[in-house]
Amino acid sequence: MLFTRIPQVSAPEWKTWVDDNDAVVLDVREPMEWARGTLEGSQKIQLATLPSALGSLDTNTPILVVCRSGNRSQHAARFLKAQGFENVANLTGGLRALGMAV
Protein backbone atom coordinates (compact mmCIF):
# COMPACT_ATOMS: atom_id res chain seq x y z
CA MET A 1 0.00 0.00 0.00
CA LEU A 2 1.28 3.47 -0.82
CA PHE A 3 1.95 5.78 2.08
CA THR A 4 -1.18 7.75 2.81
CA ARG A 5 -0.75 11.08 4.55
CA ILE A 6 -3.25 11.44 7.36
CA PRO A 7 -3.92 14.89 8.81
CA GLN A 8 -2.89 15.11 12.46
CA VAL A 9 -5.06 17.04 14.91
CA SER A 10 -3.42 18.16 18.15
CA ALA A 11 -5.06 17.75 21.53
CA PRO A 12 -5.80 21.50 21.96
CA GLU A 13 -7.39 21.62 18.49
CA TRP A 14 -9.55 18.46 18.49
CA LYS A 15 -12.85 20.06 19.50
CA THR A 16 -12.47 22.92 17.03
CA TRP A 17 -11.61 20.45 14.24
CA VAL A 18 -14.67 18.32 15.03
CA ASP A 19 -16.96 21.36 15.20
CA ASP A 20 -15.53 23.06 12.09
CA ASN A 21 -15.84 19.86 10.04
CA ASP A 22 -19.13 18.65 11.55
CA ALA A 23 -17.19 15.46 12.21
CA VAL A 24 -17.72 12.21 14.04
CA VAL A 25 -15.24 11.07 16.69
CA LEU A 26 -14.37 7.39 16.26
CA ASP A 27 -12.78 5.65 19.26
CA VAL A 28 -11.00 2.49 18.09
CA ARG A 29 -9.87 1.22 21.50
CA GLU A 30 -11.09 -1.93 23.27
CA PRO A 31 -14.27 -2.16 25.40
CA MET A 32 -12.28 -2.34 28.66
CA GLU A 33 -10.63 0.95 27.65
CA TRP A 34 -13.97 2.58 26.78
CA ALA A 35 -15.17 1.74 30.30
CA ARG A 36 -12.46 4.09 31.63
CA GLY A 37 -13.86 6.97 29.61
CA THR A 38 -13.96 8.44 26.14
CA LEU A 39 -14.87 11.68 24.45
CA GLU A 40 -18.55 12.48 24.74
CA GLY A 41 -20.53 11.37 21.71
CA SER A 42 -17.79 9.12 20.36
CA GLN A 43 -18.73 6.25 18.11
CA LYS A 44 -16.97 3.16 19.43
CA ILE A 45 -15.64 0.52 17.04
CA GLN A 46 -12.66 -1.65 17.98
CA LEU A 47 -9.80 -1.50 15.50
CA ALA A 48 -10.03 -5.29 15.02
CA THR A 49 -13.71 -5.07 14.02
CA LEU A 50 -13.43 -1.93 11.89
CA PRO A 51 -13.43 -3.79 8.55
CA SER A 52 -16.74 -5.49 9.35
CA ALA A 53 -18.27 -2.27 10.75
CA LEU A 54 -17.61 -0.02 7.74
CA GLY A 55 -21.30 -0.01 6.90
CA SER A 56 -22.05 1.89 10.10
CA LEU A 57 -19.90 4.83 8.95
CA ASP A 58 -20.71 7.43 6.30
CA THR A 59 -17.90 7.90 3.76
CA ASN A 60 -18.95 11.56 3.35
CA THR A 61 -18.82 12.45 7.05
CA PRO A 62 -15.46 13.70 8.36
CA ILE A 63 -13.99 11.44 11.05
CA LEU A 64 -11.50 12.15 13.83
CA VAL A 65 -10.07 8.78 14.88
CA VAL A 66 -8.87 8.44 18.48
CA CYS A 67 -7.21 5.81 20.67
CA ARG A 68 -5.02 5.82 23.78
CA SER A 69 -1.77 7.07 22.27
CA GLY A 70 -2.45 7.75 18.59
CA ASN A 71 -0.97 4.57 17.10
CA ARG A 72 -4.09 2.46 16.60
CA SER A 73 -6.04 5.49 15.44
CA GLN A 74 -3.36 6.24 12.83
CA HIS A 75 -3.70 2.69 11.48
CA ALA A 76 -7.49 3.00 11.50
CA ALA A 77 -7.36 6.35 9.70
CA ARG A 78 -5.11 4.93 6.97
CA PHE A 79 -7.46 1.97 6.57
CA LEU A 80 -10.48 4.27 6.29
CA LYS A 81 -8.72 6.41 3.68
CA ALA A 82 -7.94 3.26 1.67
CA GLN A 83 -11.64 2.35 1.82
CA GLY A 84 -12.72 5.66 0.28
CA PHE A 85 -13.28 7.85 3.32
CA GLU A 86 -12.11 11.27 2.17
CA ASN A 87 -11.88 13.42 5.30
CA VAL A 88 -10.19 11.40 8.04
CA ALA A 89 -7.81 12.72 10.70
CA ASN A 90 -5.89 11.28 13.65
CA LEU A 91 -5.77 12.70 17.19
CA THR A 92 -2.01 13.14 17.73
CA GLY A 93 -0.97 11.54 21.02
CA GLY A 94 -4.41 10.04 21.53
CA LEU A 95 -6.56 10.52 24.58
CA ARG A 96 -3.46 10.60 26.76
CA ALA A 97 -2.55 13.91 25.10
CA LEU A 98 -5.86 15.23 26.43
CA GLY A 99 -4.85 14.22 29.94
CA MET A 100 -7.43 11.46 30.15
CA ALA A 101 -6.64 8.50 32.40
CA VAL A 102 -7.13 5.89 29.72
Annotated active-site positions, please?
A: 67
Instruction: Could you list the beta-strand ranges (E) of 1-102.
Output: 8-9, 24-27, 43-44, 63-66, 88-91
Cα gap 75→63, rounded to integer Å: 14
Cα gap 38→61, rounded to integer Å: 20
Cα gap 1→35, rounded to integer Å: 34
